[in-house]
């Protein structure tokens, strides 16, 4: 199911569609980049067409890769973080990973830059899997602090490590201008340095993502922080996918 701001039946549609994009957190949709909601039973995944690499949005039901898979949902877990919710895709190792984790872990690539799959994990150095997420520790979740791989605070000299989805839930992720006009650097900051960050200009802050759950006991949705982050500009969200060591814009659709 899809949603864009031009829909004439918005009120009826919104009864079934709740929550923003699992990748960029934006709750808005556009005719050329709609917000698409998974029709899987109990699934709360919502993604922009460009954020999930959807080549063509169907007019009928749409299912995320997790709901399309014959695997038992309980066995589908991200190889890069402990979060069970969110938009996942197959990895080159036969497992799964969040699209947002793939964007923010530097060594991760997409096998196909347009469809954003499979998520290529083989270039991740082993030491990235041996870090401790300080956010998990601070929240008393020591049992999951060493799961998956961590990203590092983008502040020079800071050694704080954290899961991408932990940073996403607190609104600590950013997009910064890269070395070229069409290049974007996906990065994040620890809470201390994020509070000192001069926002605006070349820095786009990503609002916190708070997953919606039909089951109050499922995943860790009740553990998400209810913090606010400054809203960013009104332009259609686009992302930069990574393939073969080069980052390309992925809002070109076949």
Question: For the chain, what are the domain ranges?
Answer: 2-225+235-249
CATH architecture of 2-225+235-249: 2-Layer Sandwich (3.30)
Q: How far apart are CA 59 and CA 57, in angstroms?
A: 7
Give the angle subtended at the CA of 197 by the CAs of 241 and 105, to the nearest 5°. 30
Half-sphere exposure of 78 (CA within 13 A, CB side): 27
- Phi-psi sector, 68: left (phi>0), alpha (psi -120 to 50), beta: alpha
The predicted model scores a pTM of 0.81
Q: What is the pLDDT of residues 121-178, one digit of tens each?
A: 999 999 999 899 999 999 999 999 999 999 999 999 999 999 999 999 999 999 998 7
Q: Residue 248: its pLDDT value, please? A: 32
User: What is the DSSP annotation of 192-238?
Assistant: HHHHT---BTTEEEPPPP----SSTTSTTGGGS---------SSPP-
Q: What is the mean pLDDT of residues 23-31?
A: 95
Does residue 8 carry a pLDDT above 90?
no
pLDDT digits (tens, 9 = 90+) for 186-234: 999 999 999 999 877 788 999 999 766 544 334 444 343 333 333 334 4
DSSP state of 129: G
pLDDT at 236: 54
């Amino acid at each position: 199911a899809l949603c864009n701001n031009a829909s004439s039946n918005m009120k009826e549609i919104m009864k079934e569609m709740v929550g923003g994009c699992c990748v960029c957190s934006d709750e808005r949709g556009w005719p050329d980049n709609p917000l698409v909601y998974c029709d899987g039973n109990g699934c709360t995944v919502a993604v922009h067409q460009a954020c999930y690499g959807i080549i063509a949005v169907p007019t009928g039901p749409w299912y995320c890769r997790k709901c399309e898979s014959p695997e038992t949902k309980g066995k589908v877990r991200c190889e890069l973080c402990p979060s069970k919710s969110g938009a996942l895709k197959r990895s080159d190792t036969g497992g799964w990973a969040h699209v947002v984790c793939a964007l923010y872990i530097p060594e991760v690539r997409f096998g196909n830059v347009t469809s954003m799959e499979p998520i290529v994990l083989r270039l991740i150095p082993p030491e990235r899997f041996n870090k401790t997420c300080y956010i998990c520790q601070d929240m008393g979740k020591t049992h999951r602090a060493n799961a998956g791989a961590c990203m590092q605070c983008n502040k020079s000299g800071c050694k704080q490590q954290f899961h991408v989805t932990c940073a996403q839930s607190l609104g600590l992720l950013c997009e910064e201008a890269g070395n070229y006009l069409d290049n974007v650097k996906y990065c994040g900051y620890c809470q201390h340095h994020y509070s000192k960050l001069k926002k605006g200009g070349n820095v786009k802050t990503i609002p916190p993502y708070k997953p919606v759950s039909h089951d109050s006991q499922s995943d860790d949705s009740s553990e998400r922080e209810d913090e606010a982050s400054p809203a960013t500009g009104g332009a259609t969200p686009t992302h930069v996918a990574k393939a073969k060591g080069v980052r390309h814009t992925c809002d070109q659709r076949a």
